[in-house]
Amino acid sequence: MRVITTIKDMQTEIINLKAQSKSIGFVPTMGFLHEGHLTLLKRAREENNIVVLSIFVNPLQFGPTEDFSTYPRDFDRDQSLADCEGVDLLFYPSVEEMYHHSSSVRVTVQERTDVLCGKSRPGHFDGVATVLTKLFNIVMPTRAYFGIKDAQQVAVVEGLISDFNFPIELIPVDIVREEDGLAKSSRNVNLLPEERSEAVVLYKSLTAAKKAIEEGERNPQTIKDQVSDMIRSETHGQIDYVEIYTYPQLKEIQNLEGTCIIALAVKFSKVRLIDNIILEISQEIGGVK
């Protein structure tokens, strides 16, 4: 595995690889790798000649009150993990390298941002889309891998790639779950033991919603109420949101049909958890994937 810290070296390397018709799988991260990242790397390893991992804590996507300076970093550990997963090129630029002068341009995300978690993070997705535009031009990947756990980010990236015509295939990777269904997260360790048992209801409420839709329910409010009621009755957690939108457009919907997301966020005593399922809903009863 080669660690590259400059944009110029990275682009030179990639242009050489592309002249040899190598396919490039790219996993962009902010480092402090967890199991979710490793799943993305494994998938990229299976599907491409070359795997590129980037580690860059992007100041542009942190709000003024957010934790850019205290965001966890452990490059040595990340480097070992990347090596184990068969990463070929680890791109690890400094902030100075990525934003060396005042920027005259940035990407503005006009849709898909003012709902779900994005609602309380104005400008966050502009920062994400801007750094990804840079990284896509630096790494020039054939395929880019993102975890569907952050479904709103995947929706924004889908819009970015599609609207700007990046010649990149977006690969959304399924949520990895514990045996009892809880979505894996490095934050799960902050659940109290009782909360950990209760937290299983998040995914349980989503699968129950899926079942209700399979049985013919098409009213999103009814589904949202059912999910909320189940969470309230089976946890001490506070619901932040339970929402249903079209996916990936993230628009309100009156009657469930097409591709929809059911997404939720629940606050426990020391940690806020998110989960979601994405369903393909047709008009017939039972027509749900």
For a copy of itself, give the closer residue by CB, 20 or 65.
20
For a copy of itself, give the closer residue by CB, 17 or 201.
17
- What is the number of alpha carbons within 13 Å of residue 13 lying toward its C-beta? 21
For a copy of itself, give the closer residue by CB, 107 or 265.
107
Phi, psi of 149 (to 5 degrees): -55, -45
Q: How far apart are CA 228 and CA 240, in angstroms?
A: 10
Q: Which helix or strand (DSSP H or E) is residue 25 part of?
A: strand 24-29
Give the DSSP letter string of 265-286.
EEE-SS-EEEEEEEEEE-SSTT
For a copy of itself, give the closer residue by CB, 10 or 27.
10
- Tell me, rounded to whole angstroms, the distance of Cα 213 from its chain centroid: 25
* Minimum distance from residue 97 beta carbon to a copy of itself (Å): 10
Edge-first strand listing for the sheet containing 238-246: 238-246, 258-267, 272-281
- Which of these, 187, 189, 183, lies nearest to 206 by C-alpha position? 183
- What is the number of alpha carbons within 13 Å of residue 201 lying toward its C-beta? 22
* Minimum distance from residue 104 beta carbon to a copy of itself (Å): 3
* Minimum distance from residue 144 beta carbon to a copy of itself (Å): 13
Binding-site ranges for a copy of itself (CB under 8 A) = 7, 11, 15, 18-19, 21, 102-112, 129, 133-134, 137-138, 140, 156, 159-160, 163-167
* Minimum distance from residue 100 beta carbon to a copy of itself (Å): 9
| 187 touches 271 (CB < 8 A) | yes
For a copy of itself, give the closer residue by CB, 97 or 214.
97
* Minimum distance from residue 246 beta carbon to a copy of itself (Å): 13
Active site residue 100: no
Active-site residue, from 34, 37, 100, 236: 37
Q: How far apart are CA 232 and CA 249, in angstroms?
A: 28
Catalytic residues: 37
